Amino acid sequence: MNASKALMELLKGYGVGEVFGLPGETTLPLYKEWMGTPEVKHVMMRDERSAAFAADAYARFSFRPGICEGPSVGATHMIPGVAEAYKASIPMLVLTSDIPLHYERRNTLTGVDQTAMFEGITKESITVTEASDLPSIVRRAFRLATTGKPGPVHIRFPIDKQREEIGDPQLYVQADFKVCPGHRPVAELAKLSEALKVLGSAQRPVIVCGQGVLLSQAWGEVQVLAELYGVPVGTTINGKGAFPEAHPLSIGVTGSRGGSTLANKVIDEADVILYVGCSTDSTATDMWKTPGLDTQAKIIHLNVDEGEIGNNYPVEVALIGDAAATLRVMVEVAEKQEKKVRKLPRIKAIQKEREEYDAYVAGLMASNEVPIHPLRFVKELRDALPKDYAIVTDVGVAAIYTAAFLRQAEAGRRMIFNYAMGSLGYAIPASIGARYARPNSAVVTLVGDGSFGFTAGELETVARVGGPNHIILFNNQSFGWIRAEWQLNYGKEYVDFATNFRPVDYMKIAEGFGLEATRVGKPDDLGPALKRNLKKREPTFTEIIVKPEDKLIPPVPSWIKKAEKQGLSHIK
């Protein structure tokens, strides 16, 4: 058996259903064996970056490692997607083919030092130097990707090693690591008891859930603990879905992307903050202003990665372990202790403020402005969503308003955002990964026109893959986020520098790729168009005309203050 056949058998053994990639000359020996392994579907993308983004989204929605592959010449293109997965702790296997390694310093076409490129953005970069090592390398890659702090692992597979025979291939798999988390370590019991004492004595506690709660599927445990102690719960933008936003204890998204004034105020006023699966990054904390670095709050930090605990704030109690497994033990210990009483006056006060804020938002959602107000879009999308949906967003307008105002009533992974790195061009390729991870869901793909230019070619993939993938394009004819930064920090005379696009007929582009296309310019037409399209079982494309961000400032905490000083239209 040659090494390529061994790889395919191992992928099949690990239950890999799809691999996202595209062909190249250095991968053809592998593809030759792939043709005889129909259990592992090859999903051809149009760009290697897109393959990585698709694998990232597949992993987020399926709780299994996402697999992407590319040829040697395309290895450099994969960097943005792999970097996002690495910073976001997404389990992935990144397979790249290569020239024979002994040609590496002879200026051979497509040859480059792949290891140097990938070792800084993966948990490990492994080169197949002997074909007989491949099975153990693959097993190692699955273990690394799915345990501890999850993340991508790179396997470099030279073309000559793909053809090489393996005498006794040892093709067994380790079933524990087919899914993520592969194993669930629990924090030290004494530390758990200490954390519960701190939480139980708090007068103004709050829980903040990061994406680690979703990766661990710990939303049930979070809810039980929050209800037991009567603690309000917020999430980061990447952690949206970690707590049901219809729950009376929910304060919604926190931080600088999607965070409300109310949610951030609850954190600023807290005397105890329990961070669960959160890296306390700049987005989650509004550049470490919510709370401030001088906060007097006692911080309990639960994270599977010891490197994140206390990384940005002094920690009262450190809990190193899997979120679901550790919280489960905490709940068991807490339930044996004296019954806790909800801090009803404080919760009622928060709920009253939330009701007042919701009334303000409801007024904006009724807007008949032209171009369409973003909150009118959120309302119409909410009303049109089918019961089983998955939302994929690009950064910018698409993400900021849905994170803040599209309430996810139930817990679980329903929406994904790429706010680890935040690069443009994520949503369309990610939606293809979502289609395979959630084949029965209606995928709603929210794209800015700036992002669209990065990955427009993947519309062909969307059409070829088929299924209910509904792309919604926000057209403001610019890099709108940069226009807002210009406006707020430098003045309106700068906003047109390096930000504007000429008019583009996106309808023709979508139709040219085989998608049914609709353009919506009036608010009253939006609801019927979304309801009609989101019911369809084949891809659709809807273009919506909106204002750039400098014309209506989104609810970003630092922006709101500047907008108020400058007298600019904004959403608080």
pLDDT at 345 (0 to 100): 79
Range of the domain at 38: 3-178
Q: How many CB atoms lie within 10 A of CB 8?
A: 20
Q: Give the residue-averaged pLDDT of 307-320.
A: 96
Within a domain: 354: no
- Indicate if 208 and 125 belong to the same structural domain: no
What mean pLDDT is predicted for residues 245-266?
94
> What pLDDT shows up at residue 2?
96
Q: What burial class does residue 434 get, using C-beta atoms within 10 Å of its C-beta: 0-12 exposed, 13-18 middle, 19+ buried?
A: buried
Q: What is the DSSP string of 253-322?
A: E-SSSS--HHHHHHHHT-SEEEEES----TTTTTTTBTTBTT--SEEEEEES-TTTTTSSS--SEEEES-
Residues 230 and 127 both lie in one domain: no
Task: Kindly state the DSSP code that residue 25 receives in the 8-state scheme.
Answer: G
* pLDDT tens-digit readout, 486-529: 999 999 999 999 999 999 999 999 999 999 999 999 999 999 99
Q: What is the mean pLDDT of residues 423-444?
A: 97
The tokens for 486 are 């210009």
Please state, in angstroms and rounded to a whole number, the distance separating the CA atoms of residues 503 and 500.
9
Share of the chain above pLDDT 70, in %: 99
Q: Looking at residue 504, what is its pLDDT?
A: 97
Q: Maximum CA pair distance of the chain?
A: 74
143 and 263 belong to one structural domain: no
pLDDT value of residue 406 = 97
HEC secondary structure over 350-385:
HHHHHHHHHHHHHHHHCCCCCCCCHHHHHHHHHHHC
Residues 101, 9 within the same domain? yes
| CB-based contacts of 77, cutoff 8 Å, min separation 6 | 47, 48, 49, 70
> Does residue 183 form part of some domain?
no
The rounded mean pLDDT for the chain is 95
Q: Over 60: is that where the pLDDT of 156 sits?
A: yes
**Tens digits of residue pLDDT in 538-550:** 999 999 999 999 9
pLDDT-derived band at 106, boundaries 50, 70, 90? confident
Q: Which token pair is 320?
A: 């190193």
Residues whose CB is less than 8 angstroms from the CB of residue 564 and which lie 6 or more positions away in sequence, other chains included: 570
Closest CA to 4 of 44, 24, 34: 34
User: What is the per-residue pLDDT for 105?
Assistant: 83
Question: What pLDDT score was predicted for residue 336?
Answer: 82
Same domain, 14 and 136: yes
Nearest CA to 86 out of 395, 396, 423 is that of: 423
Q: Are residues 219 and 145 in the same domain?
A: no
- Residues in a beta bridge with 303: 320
Answer for the pair 253, 365: CB distance below 8 angstroms, yes or no: no
Total tally of structural domains belonging to the chain: 3
> What is the three-class DSSP state of 349?
helix
Q: Which CATH number goes with the domain that contains 129?
A: 3.40.50.970
Residues 146, 11: one domain? yes
Residue-level pLDDT at 484: 96
Structure-token pair, residue 272? 């105890």
Per-residue pLDDT, 339: 56
- Give yes or no: residues 340 and 384 share one domain: no
pLDDT at site 341 = 52
* Burial (CB count within 10 angstroms: exposed 0-12, middle 13-18, buried 19+), residue 275: buried
Same structural domain, 561 and 414: yes
Instruction: Give tens-digit pLDDT for 332-352.
Output: 999 887 655 555 678 889 999
269 with 377, same domain: the answer is: no
The answer to the question of residue 572 being in a domain is: no
In the listed set 178, 200, 226, which residue is the last one of a domain according to the structure?
178
Q: Single out the residue in 178, 204, 231 at which a domain terminates.
A: 178
Residue 10: pLDDT band (50, 70, 90) is very high
pLDDT tens digits along 314-335: 999 999 999 999 999 999 999 8
Q: Are residues 174 and 209 in the same domain?
A: no
Q: What is the pLDDT of residue 104?
A: 79
pLDDT at 344: 61
Residue 263, pLDDT > 80, answer yes
Say yes or no to pLDDT of 266 above 70: yes
Q: Please say if the pLDDT value at position 180 is more than 90.
A: yes
Q: Report which of residues 414 and 104 the model is more confident about.
A: 414
Same domain for 122 and 220, yes or no, is no
Tens-digit pLDDT profile for residues 226-236: 999 999 999 99
Respond yes or no on whether the N-terminal peptide bond of residue 371 is cis (omega within 30° of 0).
Answer: yes
